[in-house]
Amino acid sequence: MTEKPSNARCRVLLVFASLGGGGAEKVMVTLSQHFDRDRFETHIAVASAKGPLLAEVPTDVVLHDLHARRIRYCIPNLLRLIWRLRPAAILSTSVHVNVPLLAIRSLLPQGTKIFVRENSTPSAEVDAMGGLRRKKLLYDWFYSGAKAVICQSDAMLEDLYEQFGVPREKMVRIYNPVDGERIRQLANAEPNPFNGSGPHLVASGRLEPAKGFDILLAAMVKIHRSIPSAHLSILGDGSLEGQLRHQCSRSGLNSTVSFVGFRTNPFPFYANADLFVLSSRYEGLPNVMLEAMALNTPVVATDCPGGIREIVKGWPNCRLARAEDPVSLAEAMVASLQQKRQLNESPQGRCFDQTLLSYAVGAYENLILS
């Protein structure tokens, strides 16, 4: 029996892979927290309802566990759920979810609108992983069926248009929603995690090739020579942890670098660090960097493909280094550590603050209701 939307609110179904701590998952959970309850009835469908973000799902949001290891294995369950709920709109994120969902579009209830969100810069990801022709075919075959394609940055939008031929009129740029007020509250909820004189550096993300932690460790060799007391804490887990630990040992960095693991609340690390470092080979729009900026922590980031340049505009505490260049990264880190931290007074640098939260959530709401 079909469930009827209560009070004629717009029923929206958010579909994503898991409740892990990744940036895409954080964005979807943040949207579920802040959608206008008078206008939306929000449901979430995930392949497996496990992970650190489970506790963040609001109690008035209906969570549907599709009981599968991967999203592609739960398409029959997802299809049955969609027919039962008959949502007015479906919002999904990442190409691994977007493509299977668009592939079954003809089987969905008539009038169901599908909005897909990209979570990386596709051409950079293709360069790193291969399969350009195959990925172009995926976008060509399936993305035309979406009501709209949501890009995290102008750079991502241009990349999809120029490299993959997604029509401009099909795309809309919405920056990621970041709840600056809540980030600051969580940063103050725990004591300073650092010991020693420092300076203390922090980096955060999946321990995977895209995040460039091997480049950061190469830069840390140079940092250690010029600032022997400097210490780096790396937050996150992933398949490269053993390899990165071996690189540390081989480079004599065992006492200089700590692997902290995944943290549900990383913000005390960001807030108390002297410097946040983003060493990625490519990005979409890095939430971790926005979160560090919300805490007024100085940032050094690689000038990699993605929306990095857009979010540092007007931000006085940020330096860019050449992508995949440990020497340039080390030089930017030393220069930043030597620079006195400035208070951010520039309105152009406030895309990370509470105003972004209300703007971004409102943009998603208006897009869905349109």
Q: Quickly list DSSP for 24-88.
A: HHHHHHHHHHHS-TTTEEEEEEEEE--SGGGGGS-TTSEEEE---SSGGGGHHHHHHHHHHH--S
- 348 pLDDT more than 60: no
Percent of the chain with pLDDT over 90: 69
Shared-domain flag, residues 61 and 174: yes
Q: CA nearest 120: which of 293, 283, 267?
A: 283
For the stretch 278-288, pLDDT in tens is 999 999 889 99
220 located within any domain = yes
Shared-domain flag, residues 156 and 237: no
Residues pairing with 301 in the sheet: 278, 320
Shared-domain flag, residues 362 and 278: no
Shared-domain flag, residues 157 and 106: yes
112 and 90 in contact (C-beta within 8 Å)? yes
When pLDDT is cut at 50, 70 and 90, the band that residue 192 belongs to is very high
- Which residue range(s) make up the domain with 65? 6-178+354-369
- 13 pLDDT more than 90: yes
211 located within any domain = yes
What pLDDT is stored for residue 3 in this prediction? Answer: 53
When pLDDT is cut at 50, 70 and 90, the band that residue 354 belongs to is very low
Shared-domain flag, residues 171 and 187: no
Mean pLDDT, the chain, rounded, equals 89
For the stretch 220-262, pLDDT in tens is 999 999 999 999 999 999 999 999 999 999 999 999 999 999 9
Shared-domain flag, residues 339 and 200: yes
What pLDDT is stored for residue 163 in this prediction? Answer: 86
Sign for the pseudo-dihedral over CA of 193, 195, 201, 206 = negative
Tell me if the bond preceding 199 is cis, omega within 30° of 0.
yes
What pLDDT is stored for residue 8 in this prediction? Answer: 81
For the stretch 48-61, pLDDT in tens is 999 999 999 999 99
328 located within any domain = yes
Measured CA to CA, the distance from residue 78 to residue 141 in angstroms comes to 21
CATH number at residue 93: 3.40.50.2000
What pLDDT is stored for residue 180 in this prediction? Answer: 85
Q: How far is CA 338 from CA 183, 278, 303, 317, in A?
A: 26, 18, 20, 12
Shared-domain flag, residues 11 and 56: yes
Shared-domain flag, residues 279 and 312: yes
Shared-domain flag, residues 171 and 39: yes
Domain count, the chain: 2
Task: Tally Cβ neighbours within 10 Å of residue 30.
Answer: 21
When pLDDT is cut at 50, 70 and 90, the band that residue 121 belongs to is confident
86 located within any domain = yes
Mean pLDDT to the nearest integer, 205-232: 96
Mean pLDDT to the nearest integer, 14-28: 91
Q: CA nearest 34: which of 355, 362, 293, 351?
A: 362
Mean pLDDT to the nearest integer, 205-213: 95
108 located within any domain = yes
Shared-domain flag, residues 226 and 147: no
Lowest mean pLDDT among 118-122, 239-243, 326-330: 118-122
- 343 pLDDT more than 80: no
339 and 298 in contact (C-beta within 8 Å)? yes
When pLDDT is cut at 50, 70 and 90, the band that residue 358 belongs to is confident
Measured CA to CA, the distance from residue 37 to residue 5 in angstroms comes to 12
What pLDDT is stored for residue 341 in this prediction? Answer: 63
Shared-domain flag, residues 115 and 67: yes
Shared-domain flag, residues 161 and 288: no
1 located within any domain = no
191 located within any domain = yes
